[in-house]
Amino acid sequence: MFKNKLFNMALIILIAITLIGVASVAIWKIYLTPDQEAAAEEVKTIDEILELTVETKEVTSNLLSGGYLRVQYKIQADAKHTKEELEKRMFQIDHIILKTVSGMKADEIQGPEGMSKMENMIKDQINQILTEGMVEEVITIAMIVQ
């Protein structure tokens, strides 16, 4: 390469140190730094959860199979600005709940699986209308099926 052996040796050592440094940073970033999503999913205290939660009014709707359902939810947001948006969009949330419930049969709603299915459907639809943030959880706090 070059005629000076000392310069060649110094160049090789510099390249080796650079490669070791780049590999070390890559390994540190990939394996040793906590994942961003895992850090965001830290366990919240009950006070933090209550600060980020809005309560819907009790909604009554006819079911697809006949009969009716009376239901009420608490909706947990991921941040304060999301909670504020949820409060402003409460009329849209009530509409989403009515539309979702009216398209279901009584046997689809009953039981833990039915409740979870309905909560997830409502959560997904609310997340579609939000401009910032997202709903972390929809919790059924009252439900009567007749």
Rounded distance, CA 102 to CA 61, Å? Answer: 6
Predicted local confidence at residue 40, as pLDDT: 53
Backbone angles phi and psi of 4, in degrees to 5:
-90, 115
Rounded to two decimals, the pTM is 0.69
Nearest to 75 by CA among 102, 103, 94, 101: 94
Neighbour count for residue 99 (Cβ, 10 Å):
13
Structure tokens at 66: 């006949």
Q: How far is CA 15 from CA 21, 27, 29, 59, 78, in A?
A: 10, 18, 21, 69, 46
Rounded distance, CA 88 to CA 102, Å? Answer: 23
Predicted local confidence at residue 37, as pLDDT: 53
Domain boundaries, the chain: 5-33, 46-145
Residue type, 85: E
Specify the CATH number of the domain 46-145.
3.30.479.30
Q: What is the mean pLDDT, run by run of 10 residues, along the chain of 146 residues? A: 80 93 85 60 82 93 88 93 94 93 87 91 94 92 90
